[in-house]
Chains A and B, each alone.
Chain A
């Protein structure tokens, strides 16, 4: 097996695994965050605007970890630096 196909196989599998793991855990933690925010809104509807704003900021922070994984897998597929290195040789 030449190095191009090794790089292709490894980067495709890695990007799939990266996206899978990077979707799983942020989804769980976002679910937890939404659950506790909804509970507090149900307890104190007056504080809903503050809770919603904090929730959105927190969700964006959590989601950014998923976005890092997504960007990483996009780089592995569409802009793989090792791939370009091998092609250039």
Chain B
């Protein structure tokens, strides 16, 4: 039994091998990019807009609203990363309705790649927001002793993100394969419907957790600035 689509190799040359995961990932990327380009080619500010433009506007608005509710005040800065994560994972998990499709998120390498990009995005946005010094200071809060624990938590949450997405999608595919050999008539369809729900929830969870991590990285480095701001204001008040 194949545990991941990594094992279906189409073409191999030395170190590089072209497997099903890479092919499906690029197919999904092309699908998303081409669809978005086709839709946004003729944007109109009118009252009467095309259906697809309305759909895309809804998607962008909802993602912005979700990011704002989690504590990031300017979601336009972050939607490029977080929205892409959500749309890619959601599309990869939704396409299991197609026959002979194997989701690339059911491969450990894809989910590890996504989680590592989150790992690097947290310091990127943190440094961009409050400077290198302030961001590095957030690692030794509240005391210096917490430094190794902060580093360990960054690593362990990356591993947790990886294994959570991989395990959920892979278990769906595995249950489907086992059910096909036991009761191939109706049950696989029910489990596929459950897999659609799980896939959407996992895409949501992944992007929500990425948002929470980025927001935590920004807020912990930002706190001191806010405090200084308040004390300055209080001084002004006291001075009259």
A→B interface (CB under 8 Å): 50, 53, 56-57, 60, 63-64, 67-68, 70-71, 74, 78-79
B135 is an interface residue with CB less than 8 A from chain A:
no
> In the complex the two chains form, is A79's CB within 8 Å of B3's CB?
yes
Proximity string of chain B (107-138) to chain A, C-beta cutoff 8 Å, 1 when within and 0 when not: 00000000000000000000000000000000
B78 is an interface residue with CB less than 8 A from chain A:
no
> In the complex the two chains form, is A67's CB within 8 Å of B168's CB?
yes
B202 is an interface residue with CB less than 8 A from chain A:
yes
Q: How far is B212's CA from A64's CA once the two chains are assembled, in angstroms?
A: 17
B86 is an interface residue with CB less than 8 A from chain A:
no
A–B Cβ pairs within 8 angstroms, 19 of them: A53-B208, A56-B204, A56-B205, A56-B208, A57-B209, A60-B164, A60-B201, A60-B205, A60-B209, A63-B168, A67-B164, A67-B167, A67-B171, A68-B163, A68-B167, A71-B170, A78-B1, A78-B3, A79-B3
Interface residues on B, range: 10 to 19
Q: Which listed residue (B3, B160, B201) contacts A56, Cβ 8 A?
A: B201
Q: How far is B205's CA from A67's CA once the two chains are assembled, in angstroms?
A: 14
Q: How far is B202's CA from A39's CA once the two chains are assembled, in angstroms?
A: 25
Q: How far is B198's CA from A63's CA once the two chains are assembled, in angstroms?
A: 12
Residues of A within 8 A of B139 (CB): none
Q: How far is B171's CA from A68's CA once the two chains are assembled, in angstroms?
A: 11
Nearest Cβ distance between residue A68 and chain B, in whole angstroms? 6
B96 is an interface residue with CB less than 8 A from chain A:
no
Residues of A within 8 A of B205 (CB): 56-57, 60
